[in-house]
Amino acid sequence: MGLGGMNKLNWIGRSLPRVEDKKFLMGRGGYIDDMDLHGMLHVAVLRSPFAHAIIKGMDTSAAEALPGVVAVITGKQAAELCDWMPDFNPEPNLHKWRVLADEKVRYVGEGVAVVVAESRYIAEDGRDLIEVDYEPLAPVPSARKAQEAGAALLHDGMESNVAHDSTLAFGDVDGEFERAAHIVREHVYWGRTAAQPMETAGSVASYNPGNGMLTIHANSVALTNFSFLVAGTLKIDSNKLDLVPMPAGGSFGSKFWATRATVTAGMCSKFLGRPVKYVEDRLDHALSCDHHGSEREYDIEMAISADGEFRALRLVCTDDYGAYFQFGLGTHGNAMSQVIGPYDIKAISYRAVGVLTNKCQQGAYRGFGSEVHNFALERLVDKAAIELGVDALELRRKNFITPDKFPHKIPGGNVYDSGNYEAVLQEALKDARLDYWRAEQAKAREEGRYVGIGIVTQQERSVYAANEWWFFRGAEGVSSVPESVSLHVDALGKVSVTMYSTAFWGNSPETVAAQVLGEELGVNPDEVSFAYQGTNKGLPGSGPGGSRFTVMITGAVQGASAKIRDKAIKIAAHMLEVAEGDLEYVNGGVQVKGDPSQRKSLAEIAIMPRLFKHQLPDDITSGFDADMVYDHPYTTLPTADRSDLGIFYPMMAHATHIAVVEVDVETGGVKFLDYIAVHDCGTVVNPRSLDGQVIGGLAQGVGQALYEEFVYDDEGQIQSSSWLDYLIPSAMEIPEVRLGHHETPSPFTPYGMKGGGEGGRMHAPAAIASAVDDALKPLGATRATHLPLTPERIISMVNGH
Amino acid sequence: MKPPRFEYLRPDSVGAAVALLNEHGEGARILAGGQSLIPMMNFRIAQPSHLIDITRVPGLDAITDEGNAITIGAAVRQSTVEYSPVVKDRCPLLVEALKWVAHEPIRHRGTVCGSLAHADPHSELAATSLALNATFTVVGASGERQVPAVDFFIGPFTTVIESGEMLSSVSFPVVPAGSGYAIDEFSRTHGNFAIAGGVSVIQLGADGKVASATLSMFGMASRAFRAFAAEERLIGSMPTAEAIAEAADLALVDVDCSADMHGSEEYRAHLGRVYAGRVLTSAVARAQGGSK
Ligand SMILES: Cc1cc2nc3c(=O)[nH]c(=O)nc-3n(C[C@H](O)[C@H](O)[C@H](O)COP(=O)(O)OP(=O)(O)OC[C@H]3O[C@@H](n4cnc5c(N)ncnc54)[C@H](O)[C@@H]3O)c2cc1C
């Protein structure tokens, strides 16, 4: 799409070095912890050592007496200073949460008081002096235990710890299962992990009692169109809060809507009338970030016809949510968008059970629930191939939605915009040297070594819409997910871009905008400058998340550019004394159609509306700026009876991943021999930065599959609160990935782009598990369905447990 | 994750360091590379009142070739040892062991003696000192004493170093010509602490039988330890695969294996036997190949 009759692209599709890199590599990116305001105070949070306990009393006198401590705010006081925390779950009254626990703690690490002091050191010294009187309650350490009769209740207002249990079904599920020639069943467990950005969540708040303005610089509230909710929690007027986005040193979902740091700093600053910084340290982040990832169990089954056609899918998914339910069923809405994977499955039944437990709450982590579903589905497909005695790849191919079927409406209602799954698979196989690896595998087996190959074909939904948050419930919900941009062309024709929301969190918003401006206005991407605007005067922004930013910022830049071009043509028409209709915008200037000799450059045009009002026609106002608020290009509302969930996540990317591993059956260790990843994210803006996204996501997928886990014991004590035990794979554990990109443009987006921000993590776990199974096949091992596949777990699989 | 207040002191001799230790009592701690101590302070697990930095004490950063042993001063960084030509030539096992310790940047600061004094049960260097029969020089107010490795480690993070004492150096006997040695371990990620590992040094007689053998294990119990029963099984025998397998099975006799989220007792015991077998096999192969 793009410009009418667009010629070949000049900038999109090129691996330009990222615009953002230089400032960050030079240490001049301006991270939150580098920010220092005059008279600024620092916060340390006192955290609960118990998983579940009543707070009977607290003695803060010794802390308050410590020189350098300015204030101690207990949970009780915080409950007066602040309202409940913003929460997107559909029944917020049942399980509300506060910035600090006031009456009861519900997980190890939940904050119970803050110490505000002249330095973080003193704040932590003060923290050690607070005495809390806890009355421990029976812990609820897992979703299973939470559902047992007699389990302690986390929230008094609830009848059980089950916060949600409902089923969405589409098509003739029961009929398909009755008619099925084969039914294949699988049980899958996905361990609790979380994004581990180098930079944790943090905020610097500064309250001006003179005008009542609270300015909060934050790296962790991308969803800025909901900033009024933060104002509500802080009990100030929404127009008196300016939430200023800072670049985030990594998010992976965890900074999508992380408000605790912002509310903590904001509360303290408003209370004391002084600037206050709160940046989570690694322990704060591990124990009590806003976003642990999913912890889930699946019972999943598929009805298959006699000739191997996937007919229907039925699953029960039990989520161990932790203590609160801030995003409700967003992670399931997300999974529903690609519930049938790349396969033409006709009917589905999806039961989501949400259970509250004494653990840190769940939120977003690269994939936001869809990656878990991908894992469960591909494990099931692999098992189907074994049970049917057919080749797993052929079974997948047979069930692929074919290119002629797009746009394809799936059971439930979402639409897959475009795709060519066979082509992506072909491209992966072309590089995979499967014959070589099969020969190596045979040779290795003779030597008592175990090599395995895993191949998965999976979806990668992108460009999320808000509907996924609420369609599980009856009510209507929010449906706006806009992204905005402002363009400013100065008197010399130089272009500046203002973005809204926390656009940068390790992705490439500036690079994308610059490359698109290269196409749209013909400017050199290197010469564009960037600024970020806070919420106070800001246009609506929803930020990155759900792999949406590339498409959304492109739409916004494209729309704003069109306004700039229109004005440029108007001005040039006057300058060249030619009718507007005879002019066109080409290569950074306006010229007479077909006559490049009659031309005005953007620089020549730009000075006019800036300085020469009376040399222009009356209807041309001064200034050369354009705002654009871009809405999601393709969504619809669900029907009231939920017989159709509507279109909510239609830009459907796809990938084939092939993992080749060797398993040491004496130790349970897994090592990579090869890895191929081919993605189709529509039109690629910048292959190099997309490569980075895939490799980074893949590394997190490797972590999920083999290493990372927040382990809580039976008492609800967390065992892996530091990186000593929460094992993040390094370059030594990550395979050398051979990457490919296939391009099937989306018919619904600018230039045909799709999102690719969550790629590797959605695919690597299933590919690795599949490869481990293949390696262990000759030993009659049990299947790799429980993540992470720790070495000990692999040994017990080998032993048939 | 900020440490509480402490005083920082920098003595210029071992004597002065020991005097400061005695002056400030229980709250005083030696600071070497800080790669274990500083993280513990950030977590407030350790809250020393005084840090006595020994890394700039003149002479303490020396690696000395004593002929039959290499002596490493308390301020010598792990990476200095790792890249020392003398150590590589005379005690290459130590170089191999260091490759398993943490990551390169940590080895640039961490000291060999600091690791030994710290006595982490997962320590490769502790196990290496056991397998090589190293000697520790411990200095206190009343002078210095020599402690053999087998007596040095008492339990988790505990050695015979008493309050008011410090470790001034450690001497590693050179690996005898013609002997075979090996170190190997299993850790879940590169550079992380081992779940199980072993170190072995083996000498064969002219008849091909095992003349001497040491085997030490780390990562699996409350401290690194010598597996004497396994050694005895091999000494005087032909080092056949069967003999090695039997020795490996004896490596954990009477050992209480530790358990954590990375491995249960049973798994650690299993891995321990696997690694005992692996290092014995490699050490024997090297001895047979005549490698150093
Ligand atoms: C990420 C990471 C991974 C690591 N992985 C490993 C690993 O795989 N294997 C491993 O063995 N270690 C590992 N370590 C620990 C590392 O090797 C440390 O450097 C070492 O254990 C301590 O040495 P140091 O010189 O830094 O001692 P410090 O941290 O300065 O001191 C440690 C302790 O020893 C005491 N001490 C130090 N020197 C003396 C002395 N001369 N006399 C008396 N007491 C003394 C100190 O008072 C303190 O209690 C790792 C560390 C990190 C941070």
Predicted TM-score (pTM) above 0.90: yes
The pLDDT of residue A501 is 85
Above pLDDT 70, what percent of chain A? 99
Fold classification of B63-173 is 3.30.465
The pLDDT of residue A677 is 98
* Residue A7 confidence class, pLDDT cut points 50, 70, 90: low
Q: Does domain A373-461+652-798 have CATH number 3.10.620.30?
A: no
The pLDDT of residue A244 is 95
Cα(B63) to centroid of ligand 1, in Å? 18
Q: Which residues pair with B159 in a beta bridge?
A: B153
Cα(B267) to centroid of ligand 1, in Å? 27
Cα(A64) to centroid of ligand 1, in Å? 36
- Residue A792 has its nearest CB partner, among B3, B4, B263, at B263
Question: With a CB-CB cutoff of 8 Å, which residues 190-209 of chain B face chain A?
Answer: 190-193, 195
Paired sense of beta strands B135-140 and B143-148, if any: antiparallel
Q: Is the CB of B33 under 6 A from ligand 1?
A: yes
* Residue A329 confidence class, pLDDT cut points 50, 70, 90: confident
- The number of the ligand 1 atom at minimal distance from the alpha carbon of B39 is 53
pLDDT, tens only, A444-461? 999 999 999 999 999 999
- The number of the ligand 1 atom at minimal distance from the alpha carbon of B40 is 29
- The distance of B5 to chain A (nearest Cα, Å) reads 8
Cα(B213) to centroid of ligand 1, in Å? 28
A790 vs B186: CB contact, 8 Å cut-off?
Answer: no
B261 vs A720: CB contact, 8 Å cut-off?
Answer: yes
Residue of A667, A728, A789 to mutate, testing the B interface (most B Cβ within 10 Å of its Cβ)? A667
Among chain A residues, the shortest Cα distance to B272 is held by A667
Q: What is the mean pLDDT of residues B242-251?
A: 98
Residue A73 clears pLDDT 50, i.e. is over it: yes
Burial code (b: 16+ CB inside 10 Å, e: under 16) for A20-55 equals: beeebeeeebebbeebebeebbbbbbbbbebbbbeb
Architecture field, domain A32-137+195-288: Alpha-Beta Complex (3.90)
- Residue B188 has its nearest CB partner, among A121, A727, A795, at A727
The pLDDT of residue A21 is 93
The pLDDT of residue B290 is 65
pLDDT, tens only, A764-784? 999 999 999 999 999 999 999
ipTM for this model:
0.96
Q: Does domain A21-28+482-630 have CATH number 3.30.365.10?
A: yes
Using alpha carbons, select from B78, B201, B74 the residue that is nearest to residue B132.
B201
- The distance of A223 to chain B (nearest Cα, Å) reads 29
Q: Which residues of B touch A47 (CB under 8 A)?
A: none
For residue A747, say if its preceding peptide bond is cis, omega within 30 degrees of 0. no
Q: Is the CB of B140 under 6 A from ligand 1?
A: no
The pLDDT of residue A474 is 73
CATH 3.30.390.50 domain residues, chain B: 179-287
What are the boundaries of each domain within chain A?
Answer: 21-28+482-630, 32-137+195-288, 373-461+652-798
Reported CATH class of domain B7-53:
alpha beta
CATH homologous superfamily of domain B179-287? CO dehydrogenase flavoprotein, C-terminal domain (3.30.390.50)
For ligand 1, atom 22, the nearest C-alpha belongs to: B115
Among chain A residues, the shortest Cα distance to B192 is held by A724
CATH 3.30.465.10 domain residues, chain B: 63-173
Q: Which two tokens stand for residue B272?
A: 């321990």
d(CA A657, CA A460): 12
Residue of A666, A702, A711, A795 to mutate, testing the B interface (most B Cβ within 10 Å of its Cβ)? A666
Residue A2 clears pLDDT 80, i.e. is over it: no
- Residue B261 has its nearest CB partner, among A125, A667, A711, at A711
Domains A32-137+195-288 and A373-461+652-798 share a fold: no
* Distance, CA of A80 to chain centre: 33
CB atoms within 10 A of CB B53: 16
Q: Which residues of B touch A791 (CB under 8 A)?
A: 186, 188, 195, 263, 267
Q: Is the CB of B126 under 6 A from ligand 1?
A: no
For ligand 1, atom 46, the nearest C-alpha belongs to: B30
Q: Which residues of A touch B5 (CB under 8 A)?
A: 121, 125
Stated as kind and residue range, the H or E segment containing A185 is: strand A182-190
d(CA B271, CA A772): 20
CB atoms within 10 A of CB A797: 24
pLDDT, tens only, A91-148? 778 899 999 999 999 999 999 999 999 999 999 999 999 999 999 999 999 999 999 9
CATH 3.30.43.10 domain residues, chain B: 7-53
